[in-house]
Structures are given as structure tokens and as C-alpha cells.
A and B are shown apart, each in its own frame.
Chain A
């Protein structure tokens, strides 16, 4: 059974870098044809895809965030990390990690429980 678990600071100061990690169990992030993604959701609003990393290490990012985002993988720990720099209050949201499964034509079939990040001084 594949499980994802987000971790990281719940409070980040404006202009600083938000860093979150997604620990994966039950599947290897370096094998197969899956993507490993980050999605966020401001309170009371819809889902926004942030970006993803492939098993080869290549990544895609949402254009509005591309200049501030990086996603990397640590295959030895089977986890992947989101970094979002120069944050503002608009980056306050629940952040989810998810698997985009090749068997589901890259539908997001497994999600973490989400972690709330607040940007405030």
C-alpha cells in the first residue's frame, strides 16, 4: 500500500523559502513510470498544481510559479522536496503531495494528508 506523508514548518516568514518534504512508503520514487507531485489549496479555494518530478529526476512546474519553485528527490530516503522561495501571504495554503500514476494515465491516485503552511511575520 503506497502512502505519502508531508512534513515541514507550518509557519514561514514573508520573503523566506518554504521547504516541504514528502516521504513515500510502499513504492520507489526512482523506479517505474510515475510522477511525484505537489499541489496546494488556499483555504476555501480550489486545487492548484505546483509541479512534479519524474523517476529520472526531470521536473515540470506550473508557469505562474516556475520562477520560484524547485522540486528535488532524495532516492536514498525515498522522498521528494518542494522549495518555494520569496513567499508572500498568497502562498498560505494546505500543501499536498501526490503520485501521478502511469497506470491511471497520470491521474493522482495516492495523496498525502496535507500540511498547512502559513506565511506570516
Chain B
């Protein structure tokens, strides 16, 4: 059971937009920055978003992040088949004194 809650799967057609939610509490998302990671099959995770909504260099602006209260959202526009992957949110939990992740969301581009 993950501390952060994500939908197990989402899907959308190529070219469309999709959002992935990440729900937490005041001890984690509510008072800490959220990061998002993409993991392609058989590879290590890759940082997509940090500071709730900032993109590392090299990450296209099709990817965006936002946070409101104890929830965060990853948005992906102009979906491509290459975006099919698992996406994870993560943040610090001050009650656990530990880094926590969501359970992951599998994106299918139909």
C-alpha cells in the first residue's frame, strides 16, 4: 500500500492529452515539493518534473506538473506512442521521515 495514491492505469489516443493524479496528505504533498518520474520497460526511472512544476533540461514542454493542496497532477499533451510507460510521483513525508512514491500509473497510448 503506497503512501501516495495514483490511478493504476490511464489511456488516451495519440495526439490527445492525459492527466495523472497523485493524492497524499499534509505530511507529504501538502508541505513538500513533488517530483514525477517516467519509467520505460526495463529501464531506470527518469526525472520528468521537480519542484511540482519544473522540467529538467531536455524534457519537452508537453510534460507539465501542478499541485493543489494535498494532490498533484502530471499532464502530458500531444501523446505519442513513445510515451507509453509507467509514471510515478514522489515526495518527502515529514511524518515518516522518508521519501515516498505513488504506486505508479501505466499510460497506454491507444
A107 to chain B, nearest CB (A): 3
Tell whether B56 is near chain A: CB-to-CB under 8 Å: yes
Q: Is A46 an interface residue (CB 8 A)?
A: yes
**Are A109 and B90 in touch, CB under 8 angstroms?**
no
Q: Which residue of A lies closest to B49 (CB)?
A: A107
Q: Is the interface of A mostly helix, strand, loop or mixed?
A: strand
**B30 at interface (Cβ–Cβ under 8 A)?**
no
A108 and B45 in contact, given A37-B99, A47-B88, A63-B98 (Cβ under 8 angstroms): yes
Per the CB 8 Å criterion, the residue count for chain B at the interface is: 26
Asked whether any CB of chain A lies closer than 8 Å to the CB of B24, the reply is no
- Contacts known (A47-B88, A47-B90); A107 close to B50, Cβ less than 8 A: yes
Q: Which 6 A-B pairs have the closest CB atoms?
A: A107-B50, A107-B35, A49-B99, A104-B50, A111-B44, A105-B33
Show the binding face of B for A, using Cβ within 8 Å: 2, 33, 35, 37, 43-47, 49-51, 54, 56, 88, 90, 92, 96-104
Closest-CB distance, B36 to chain A (whole angstroms): 9
Chosen A-B contacts, 12 in total, with CB atoms closer than 8 Å, are A46-B88, A46-B102, A47-B90, A62-B99, A63-B98, A96-B45, A105-B51, A108-B35, A108-B37, A109-B50, A109-B56, A111-B46
| B103 A46 Cβ-Cβ under 8 A | yes
Q: Complex Cα distance A111/B46, Å?
A: 7
CB distance from B109 to the nearest CB of A (A): 21
Contact status B100-A46, CB under 8 Å: no
CB 8 Å contact bits of A7-26 with B (1 = contact, 0 = none): 00000000000000000000
CA distance A111 to B56 in the complex (A): 14
Q: Is the C-beta of A60 less than 8 angstroms from some C-beta in chain B?
A: yes
Bound Cα distance A49, B99 (Å): 6
Q: Does residue A42 face the partner (Cβ distance < 8 Å to B)? A: no
A10 to B56, CA, bound (A): 32
State in angstroms the CA–CA spacing of A61 and B2 once bound together: 17
**A48 contacts B44, C-beta separation under 8 Å:** no
